[in-house]
Amino acid sequence: MSFDYDLFVIGGGSGGVRAARVAAQEGVKVALAEEDRYGGTCVIRGCVPKKLMVFASEYSGMVEDAQAYGWDIKAGDFSWDAFKGKLHAELDRLEGIYRNILKNNGVESFDQRAKLADAHTVELADGTRKTAKHILIATGGWPTVPEFPGSELAITSNEIFHLDELPESILIVGGGYIASEFAGIMNGLGVKTTQFYRGPQILRGFDEEARGVVAEGMAEAGVNLQVNTNVTEMRQEGGKIRVIDTHGNEHLFDKVMYATGRAPNADSLGLEELGVERGRNGAIVVDAYSQTGVPSVFAVGDVTDRVNLTPVAIREGMAFVETVFKGNPTSPDHDLIPTAIFTQPEMGTVGLSEEEAAAQEPIEVYSTSFKPMQQSFAGRAQKVLMKLVVSKATRKVLGCHIVAPGAGEMIQLAGIAVKMGATKEDFDRTVAVHPTMSEELVTLKTPVRFT
């Protein structure tokens, strides 16, 4: 049977575009459909605009630091309009790059929604049908807001980049990295920021000591962090939103942003009719090679709810091409993925938390917390943390956790060592780069804890 295409990709985010491009470079006939903007969550409404907002928000503390270093500098006001204009121009530029990547590699693009009609047929929103030998679903995820009285008043991370003006006050609900990052951003931009989290500490699942240092730093910077607290009801009151919390307290905010979870974007794609299995949270169930129970249909990225990170979606897309078009069955490696959380203070992590490691074997914990030279000279108090979790039996570094300015940059490099199976003695043999914060990772001599 002949098909219109060898591969039809549904979704123009990082995973889908990478798979389409690499497959096309192999001489494969590829088409891609995207109903929204090219670049997906990461480029359009996630990592890229968020990181630019982090940069913008960090300048607020720099003027005081510069004064402490002897500079005669005066703070001005932050212009949301000026920043927002440049931000959206940059996102438009990046979207253009994504479109050109597809065009320059001979991928045919359809700017409309697509769904599966059968195992080898895609139906576009205008009713056109296209056949393909293989279909790759890379439709990503979408923020969700739980239902409660007044929940429709909440915005999500999708809308935060499009505010007409900066609010004077904001409540951010959630304790994950998106909520915690935006609490730091809004606080840094001069917005009176409150964060509610229903659990006892933010950043659940990360190393306990590290998340404690982040939470402490956020509170010191001015975020009103309230744990063991949730929203029971919201109602509009003039231009503000009245929020009633689980303790019966009432608050007024200009905006309320929910970052309590994301769901795979897999509804209304024709999956159920085809017998493609949906799992926890509605995710598309795939095997180790990103293949669904329907042999011609594959899925990568957040829609599979495995590890919801952009570089992981890209790796999964590459592994899919290796498996299907290069005859080299490749399973994406989800082990020891380094991660940065762009909270303020920033956190970088790779491997097991102290708690996870201690649950599986006897360990040694090496950690140090101190005030970095640049900030302490300027009179700022935020502590940094450098931490290694080490196996007693093998001496391997099982986890590395950093809370510090530039932690994301540091953890990328530490991640190489941990991925290679470096031991504590490998770290010890490495000469320190002085004076730096990261030198502490190779000068940690005595364990602070044994388990």
What's the length of the chain?
A: 451
Calculate the CA 340 to chain-centre distance: 8
| pTM of the full structure | 0.96
Give the angle subtended at the CA of 186 by the CAs of 49 and 310, to the nearest 5°: 30
User: Which of the following CATH numbers is that of domain 151-259: 2.60.120.560, 3.50.50.60, 3.40.50.300, 3.30.930.10?
Assistant: 3.50.50.60
Q: At what angle do helices 208-221 and 177-188 cross, to 10 degrees?
A: 20
User: Which of the following CATH numbers is that of domain 5-143+263-325: 3.30.505.50, 3.40.1380.10, 3.40.50.1820, 3.50.50.60?
Assistant: 3.50.50.60
Which positions are catalytic?
A: 434
Contact (Cβ atoms closer than 8 angstroms) between residue 339 and residue 317:
no
CATH of domain 339-450: 3.30.390.30
Question: Which pLDDT tens digits describe the chain residue by residue (451 residues)?
Answer: 799 999 999 999 999 999 999 999 999 999 999 999 999 999 999 999 999 999 999 998 899 899 999 999 998 899 999 999 999 999 999 999 999 999 999 999 999 999 999 999 999 999 999 999 999 999 999 999 999 999 999 999 999 999 999 999 999 999 999 999 999 999 999 999 999 999 999 999 999 999 999 999 999 999 999 999 999 999 999 999 999 999 999 999 999 999 999 999 999 999 999 999 999 899 999 999 999 999 999 999 999 999 999 999 999 999 999 999 999 999 999 999 999 999 999 999 999 999 999 999 999 999 999 999 988 898 887 899 999 999 999 999 999 999 999 999 999 999 999 999 999 999 999 999 999 999 999 999 999 999 8
5-143+263-325 and 151-259 have identical folds: yes
Domain boundaries, the chain: 5-143+263-325, 151-259, 339-450
Neighbours of 430 (CB within 10 A): 14
List b or e across 386-420, with b for residues whose CB sees 16 or more CB atoms inside 10 angstroms.
Answer: bbbbbbeeeeebbbbbbbbbbbbebbeebbebbee
